[in-house]
Amino acid sequence: MLQIDMLSKVPVYEQIISQIERLIMLGVLREGDKIPSVRSLALQLSINPNTIQKAVSIMDQRGIIMSASGRGCFVRPGACEVIKQERRQQLGTLKEQLSELKLAGITAAELHAFIDELYSEGVDENDRNQGNK
């Protein structure tokens, strides 16, 4: 279900979070759905349970999931909205990066083309997403 890249610099717990968020945005995990248990994920990904637990507690705190002790974790109603809001805040970070690329001589046209390409390729993904809106 999840795939962890051990050669990435991105912390494992962040990889877990963003992948689960992605599954939610894609509609694979819907609001109210149960999330695999910490122990099963730890076994399955051969990762330290503490790492999974960290991801879970962060998502819990952000309002993306709710963990009911003894019963497991569930996607919280409204999780999609929370995630969308998070991501919009990332636009600020994006701005700094783009201004560096601008200095590097990358033209606006190049970026526009880049975006169009990105948005045209994964149309099917977007469609699946509609169901979760």
Binding site for DNA (CB under 7 A): 11-14, 35, 37-40, 47-51, 53-54, 56-57, 60, 67-73
Residue of 30, 39, 43, 97 interacting with its own copies (CB under 8 A): 97
Cα–Cα separations (whole angstroms), residue 59 to 31, 37, 65: 14, 14, 6
Min dist CB 37 to its own copies, Å, is: 16
**The residue to which tokens 């609001």 are assigned:** 31
Say if residues 64 and 54 touch (Cβ distance below 8 Å): no
Q: Are 128 and 26 in contact (CB under 8 A)?
A: yes
Of the pair 36, 58, the CB lying nearest its own copies is at 58
Q: Are 76 and 91 in contact (CB under 8 A)?
A: no
Q: Fill in the per-residue mask, 58 to 77: x = in contact with its own copies (CB under 8 A), - = not in contact.
A: x--x----x-xxxx--x-xx
Largest interatomic CA distance in the chain = 55
Give the DSSP H/E element, type plus range, for residue 40: helix 38-45
Question: Which residues bind to its own copies, rule: CB under 8 A?
Answer: 6-9, 11-12, 18, 22, 25-26, 58, 61, 66, 68-71, 74, 76-77, 83-84, 86-88, 90-91, 94-95, 97-106, 108, 111-112, 114-116, 118-119, 122, 125-126, 129
